[in-house]
């Protein structure tokens, strides 16, 4: 009977030790799972923010594209006017001085407008390139 009591005491002690170790590991695992859930929620929130920013950038890109489509015919027309003026200047001119001064001022105005349009188009191109790089950065997973 004493051996059986000793055996049940040892078995009970081993069972409590095993239960203690299992509970300890479960607490660790529960803590890690909880931390991972918080990290996952944070990653989802950040991904939603990135997707929202990307959609905003796409809207800006659509607006820029529409502006570019609107400006291209104007630039083409001004280039045609400039070329017509260049051709007319290369012909011998039979005009008096006021007409020449007016023609020169018109050419200068067209050249000034042409330069402004080129600056705007260059700015739009840089903006589109930045948006493209932003989209590439967002679409490439961080692990790659």
Q: What is the pTM of this model?
A: 0.40
In the chain, what's the furthest Cα-to-Cα distance? 136
Q: Are 129 and 64 in contact (CB under 8 A)?
A: no
**pLDDT one-digit tens code per residue, 73-114:** 888 888 888 888 887 777 665 667 888 888 888 889 999 999
**C-alpha atoms less than 13 angstroms from C-alpha of 18 in its C-beta half-sphere:** 6
Is the distance from CB of 124 to CB of 67 less than 8 angstroms? Answer: yes
Q: Are 129 and 86 in contact (CB under 8 A)?
A: no
54 contacts 138 by C-beta, under 8 angstroms = yes
Tokens, residue 102 = 């007016």
The pLDDT tens digits along the chain (144 residues) read: 787 888 888 888 888 888 888 889 989 999 999 999 999 999 999 999 999 989 999 999 999 999 988 988 888 888 888 888 887 777 665 667 888 888 888 889 999 999 899 888 988 888 888 888 888 888 765 554
Quote the CA–CA distance of 113 and 77 in Å, as a whole number.
Answer: 12
SS3 category, 31 = helix
């Amino acid at each position: 009977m004493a051996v059986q009591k000793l055996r049940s005491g040892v078995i009970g002690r081993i069972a409590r030790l095993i239960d203690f170790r299992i509970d300890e590991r479960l607490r660790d695992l529960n803590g890690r799972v909880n931390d991972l859930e918080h990290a996952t929620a944070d990653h989802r929130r950040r991904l939603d923010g990135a997707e929202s920013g990307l959609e905003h950038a796409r809207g800006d890109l659509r607006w820029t594209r529409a502006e570019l489509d609107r400006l291209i015919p104007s630039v083409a027309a001004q280039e045609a006017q400039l070329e017509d003026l260049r051709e007319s200047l290369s012909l011998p001119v039979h005009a008096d001085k006021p007409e020449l001064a007016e023609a020169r001022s018109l050419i200068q105005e067209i050249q000034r407008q042409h330069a402004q349009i080129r600056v705007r188009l260059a700015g739009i191109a840089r903006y589109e390139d930045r948006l493209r790089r932003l989209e590439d950065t967002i679409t490439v997973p961080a692990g790659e």
